[in-house]
A = this chain, B = another copy of it.
Amino acid sequence: MDGKPYIAQRPRRADGRRNYDAILAAARKAFETDGAEASLEDIASQAGVAIGTLYRHFPTRASLVEAATRDGLADLVARAERLSGHPDPLEALAEWMGQAVRHFSIFRGLVGILARSMYDEGTPSHATCNAMHRGGAGLLRAAQAAGRVRPDLTPDELFDLLSGAAWVREQSTSGRDGSVRFLRLMLDGISTPGPTGGE
């Protein structure tokens, strides 16, 4: 329902493109310091633009978040593609998940948005999330086919684990980044006690 979600597109006119890019740059910076709830009016003024201009290019906060994270997530999809022929499918999966966790937690609040986008079609990030889902699922299948990951694990469960790890990483404000260890424990939990399974 709700038609298609609005996906921000780079404008045709030169001044429009300038502002679009400036807003995006300001948004990325603001999201990193203040999280996904950063003030849109601050972002607009940082970009040297009136609030109406921001809303013209990015009618919803979600569309701005989507545009600000688009490249990173596309990169993740490409990486899954590239890793799909890896000789060690468990290692490939592990590496990809590490990357994914990092991308999912570049700013506070992102994982929540992505997790919701995963199952909600009315969301700007839904398409990219789906692509990632497919990419991750492919790596998972390969690892399972090689007998390196327990066969009863579903892609949805993999993404639960992944976003859980990303959430933990997102929370860790100061030094303590629990996500590395989290991922490690997780992999120990899902991998079969094969060749190099248990540590």
**In this complex, what residue of B is CB-closest to A198?**
B193
Interface-forming stretch among A44-52, A78-86, A164-172?
A164-172
Number of interface residues of A (CB under 8 A): 28
A81 to B174, CA, bound (A): 31
User: Is A161 an interface residue, CB under 8 A from the partner?
Assistant: yes
Which chain A residues (147-199) contact chain B, with CB distance < 8 Å? 153, 156-157, 160-161, 163-165, 167-168, 171, 174, 176, 178, 181-182, 185-190, 193, 198
Q: List 28 A-B pairs, Cβ < 8 Å.
A: A112-B171, A116-B171, A119-B174, A153-B185, A156-B176, A156-B178, A157-B178, A157-B181, A160-B178, A160-B181, A160-B182, A161-B182, A161-B185, A163-B168, A164-B164, A164-B165, A164-B167, A164-B168, A167-B167, A185-B189, A185-B190, A186-B186, A186-B189, A187-B189, A188-B190, A189-B189, A189-B190, A193-B198
